[in-house]
């Protein structure tokens, strides 16, 4: 299935909190369950502690909210957080498009981009294709980093989200 032709983006507001938490729970549940760590209460608290609507972009297919991502300034880096895409929209190249948009922002700002991914998640391999490398890891999560203007080629369309 190709990228929806009516894909559009909009800035988030504080009013988007509940529906973004719902998307987080839907998208993260399989990976968290695989680690034996799915806890909706903890997931909501973590989202609440990190949600910055002014840094968050909503992703729509026509009028349907299908995902989001946040680019949050942190010291000398940009943090890519809340990168969620509903399962029905994964594997179509949308995730690649969103990640390229985030990398472009980081490169224009001349800042490294950092993200956190769950261990054993297929997302690690996805991010690695874009030049992200493991910076640190614990028993649950891995921090990955991509230097600004890494000069790495962007992967060809391989229909991964």
Report domain extents, the chain. Answer: 7-146
The whole-number pLDDT of residue 134 equals 94
In terms of C-beta density within 10 A (0-12 exposed, 13-18 middle, 19 or more buried), how is residue 153 classed? exposed
Between 152 and 30, where is the model more confident? 30
In the predicted structure, residue 32 carries a pLDDT above the cut 80: no
Question: For the segment 90-116, what is each residue's pLDDT rounded down to a tens digit?
Answer: 888 999 999 999 999 999 999 999 999
Answer yes or no: are the C-beta atoms of 53 and 16 closer than 8 Å. yes
Please state, for a pLDDT cut of 90, what percent of the chain lies above it.
59
Q: Which tokens in the block code for residue 53? A: 């609507």
The whole-number pLDDT of residue 151 equals 57
pTM recorded for the entire structure: 0.84
CATH topology of domain 7-146: Aminopeptidase (3.40.630)
In the predicted structure, residue 143 carries a pLDDT above the cut 90: yes
């Amino acid at each position: 299935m190709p990228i929806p032709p009516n894909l559009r983006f909009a800035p988030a507001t504080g009013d988007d909190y509940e529906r973004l938490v719902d998307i987080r729970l839907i998208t993260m549940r399989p990976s968290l369950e695989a680690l034996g760590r799915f806890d909706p209460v903890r997931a909501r608290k973590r989202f609440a502690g990190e949600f910055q609507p002014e840094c968050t972009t909503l992703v729509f297919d026509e009028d349907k909210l299908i995902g989001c991502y946040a680019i949050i300034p942190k010291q000398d880096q940009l943090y890519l957080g809340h990168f969620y895409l509903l399962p029905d929209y994964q594997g179509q190249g949308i995730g690649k498009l969103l990640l390229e948009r985030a990398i472009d922002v980081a490169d224009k700002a001349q800042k490294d981009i950092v993200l956190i991914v769950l261990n054993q998640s297929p997302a690690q391999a996805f991010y690695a294709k874009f030049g992200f490398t493991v910076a640190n890891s614990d028993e649950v999560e891995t921090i990955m980093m991509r230097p600004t203007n890494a000069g790495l080629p962007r992967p060809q369309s391989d229909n991964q989200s």
